[in-house]
Amino acid sequence: MSAPDPFVVRVDTGDEIHALEWGMEHGLRPPCFLLVHGLAQTAWSWAPVARRLAVSARVLAPDLRGHGGSAAPRSGYDAESLAWDVLTVASAAGFGEAVGGPPVILAGHGTGAIVAAVAAMLAPGSVAGLALVDGGWEALGEATGLSVEQYVAALAEPPEVLRSIDTFLADRRAFDPATWDADQEQAARAQVDEKHAGHVSLVARPRVLRAVSAGLFAYDPREVLPQVRAPLLAIAAEAGGADDDAIRERRLALADVERVRAAAGCDPARVVRWGGCGHNVMRYRPDALAAELAALAAEGAPAGMDGRTPTAPPL
């Protein structure tokens, strides 16, 4: 499939948000998938899944402000502001209640799931389904036991990894050589700037990471997710075994959220668990993730979709 089309949207603060788009030939026909990356990542992290979905649907993936090709202003990094940026990208493409367009299937990965959840809460008429992809059902402070500053410090790359673009790419390739391909290389390259001396640094600067993290740490899924009435899909990557304490805590956190949602009258989330899978499920399970998102689109299909079910064949 050909490369995605880049576009830029100017949001109400005057800042420019960069996004990638696949499947433009599908126009405004549902479904449309709006995919949100996690902290210190870019829209390119979603490319393996977007290519599969774009066979039968339109796919949008923005760079959050301060990331990738988007502007990095001094403010606007709280979860609500990031969510409005994402919703504005949907509006610019003709989707969502703000422009009288069809709703989107909204998916967020990791900390991007927090942004997606807040967006679904803010604009329920714009979201036909919400997917939390290995994140979004935990309060970060509780889940990590870290302060914001400690969390940001943990994101730092070792100096030897940033010595050159080659060492950075080699580090990313080594995570799982079997899944390294052109999309993964592009995603890695989009994360960094290459300096005149040859070394690289993350495009998402420390001040951006601190500001975004502070906003994400204020998120409480027990307050936000009960307000989301769209069909909810939670995908958990469980790399460890059944006796893994981290997995057990994550399952308990999701169960807590589901109890609160049930008390608010919400339908149960559909929960998918992938054992032996790392956090970057877009890289490790692109076919399965695309299929799950397509199933969510079928579940949340608005009236008038003529019964079409999106397909997600592997490339």
The reported pLDDT for the residue numbered 197 is: 79
The reported pLDDT for the residue numbered 218 is: 97
Confidence of residue 89 (pLDDT cuts 50, 70, 90): very high
The reported pLDDT for the residue numbered 242 is: 65
Bridge pairing between strands 104-109 and 127-133: parallel
More confident residue, 243 or 191: 191
The pair phi, psi for residue 276, each rounded to 5°, is 70, 15
Mean pLDDT across 36-57? 97
Give the lowest-confidence range in 12-16, 171-175, 230-234, 298-302. 298-302
Confidence of residue 25 (pLDDT cuts 50, 70, 90): very high
The reported pLDDT for the residue numbered 135 is: 97
Q: Hey, what amino acid is at 9?
A: V
In angstroms, rounded to a whole number, what is the distance separating the alpha carbons of residues 271 and 189?
Answer: 33
Q: Examine the pLDDT at 306 and tell me if it is beyond 90.
A: no
In angstroms, rounded to a whole number, what is the distance separating the alpha carbons of residues 206 and 281?
Answer: 25
- Would you list the DSSP string of 268-279? PPEEEEEET--S
Strands of the sheet containing 232-238, edge to edge, are 5-10, 16-22, 58-62, 32-36, 104-109, 127-133, 232-238, 270-275
Residues belonging to the chain: 315
Q: Examine the pLDDT at 115 and tell me if it is beyond 50.
A: yes
The reported pLDDT for the residue numbered 256 is: 97
The reported pLDDT for the residue numbered 85 is: 98
pLDDT digits (tens, 9 = 90+) for 53-87: 999 999 999 999 999 999 999 999 999 999 999 99
| 8 Å CB contact between 225 and 117 | yes
The reported pLDDT for the residue numbered 314 is: 40
Confidence of residue 241 (pLDDT cuts 50, 70, 90): confident
In angstroms, rounded to a whole number, what is the distance separating the alpha carbons of residues 254 and 137?
Answer: 6
In angstroms, rounded to a whole number, what is the distance separating the alpha carbons of residues 18 and 87?
Answer: 13
pTM: 0.94
Bridge pairing between strands 200-202 and 232-238: unpaired
- Percentage above 90 pLDDT, the chain: 90
Give the lowest-confidence range in 35-49, 235-249, 253-267. 235-249
Give the largest CA-CA distance in the chain: 58
Confidence of residue 1 (pLDDT cuts 50, 70, 90): low
pLDDT digits (tens, 9 = 90+) for 192-227: 998 877 899 999 999 999 999 999 999 999 999 999
Confidence of residue 315 (pLDDT cuts 50, 70, 90): very low
Q: Examine the pLDDT at 309 and tell me if it is beyond 70.
A: no
Q: What structural domains and CATH numbers belong to the chain?
A: 5-142+206-299 (3.40.50.1820)
Average pLDDT, the chain: 93
